[in-house]
Structure 1
């Protein structure tokens, strides 16, 4: 899978063949088809692996007792998108390839189901701390995740456009602040974006 990811990113998904992957790892066709049914199956495996890695990246943030809910929310969102930046081409291939719509929805649904409890834990902490005013936390989290999912799909198109990406970040910050009832608290969901702009 690591070899396939390297080839997808260097040569492009369409131009990479199963034979290319086999040559890179020295594997026989029989060995390949013992684990995967097709090149598409490899791409799906990489997407599944990436989703698992994202969840593992954010879990320590949620369980850190030394952070406030607002601090966790900022780190949570930043870690999510920061990780996705390194995988943006794979995400684009996943969206662009002629995979069945139901298959894509199924993968996304599984990811958000695993993501939701962590996000909800942060919101409930914010409610208990008094920094967040939310009447229906579970439903609110579900709706925010719909927005974050949209941003994920848009990321490959706007990532290289600093101005466009900055506007998306500002919009998400403002919407999240209002949705979670944050008063006199301005979120900085993607601090590294500001840092990159300053360096540029």
Structure 2
């Protein structure tokens, strides 16, 4: 029987899927390249054709997650039937809900499992892709009169710095209900003041079930 030759992209996705399952079930440190090979049924040569190391696989998973998040939030931004406040709330709720099963991967990413330069590169790429969508919401809010922002682009950049920090802290506070509540309240209050919202209270994350975030 002739050997089935799979599309390289399909094989790469199989490696990523197997690695994600192993990282989440066994832990990143306890998972070896050999474990991934056994799960996929692949030789070392086949693995190294796509990835240089286990760390490279984790980077691939982070890249895939970033692409998926962007695709999830794009329809919210493009929805002409929603006002800017609603879009902003849905944007962040969708972002967190999407990451519920991915929190451990984010923790591995944040806990120095990757080099500092690798982390900075991925974060920079992610926020670069994220920025146009949040900026579009803020500009819509300015046009609608619900937001008062003198320098929209610079304001969004500063907000993203804070949101990046919160994202890194999220895995550490999920098991502490009070700490999680305080972070949520702080993010909402800071965003309200930064965007110049008058008598409008944001609910960026309150509709997200905290207990389900780390499932």
What TM-score results when the alignment is normalised by the length of structure 2? 0.88
Hey, what does 2:29 align to over in structure 1? 14
CA distance in 1, matches of 2:189, 2:211: 21
CA distance in 2, matches of 1:195, 1:42: 28
Within 5 Å, give how 1:143-182 maps onto structure 2.
143-182=158-197
Structure 1 unaligned regions, length at least 5: none
Where does residue 192 of structure 1 map in the other structure?
207
| Alignment map for 1:10-159 (pairs within 5 Å) | 10-159=25-174
CA distance in 2, matches of 1:115, 1:85: 19
Aligned counterparts of 1:164 and 1:81: Cα–Cα separation in 2: 17
Q: Secondary structure of the equivalent of 2:99? A: helix
CA distance in 1, matches of 2:77, 2:140: 10
Aligned CA distance change for structure 1 residues 196 and 98 (closer, same or farther; 3 Å): closer
Residue matched to 1:183? 198
- Greater per-residue helix proportion: 1
SS at structure 2 position matched to 1:114: helix
Quote the RMSD (CA, aligned, Å): 1.4
TM-score, normalization: structure 1? 0.95
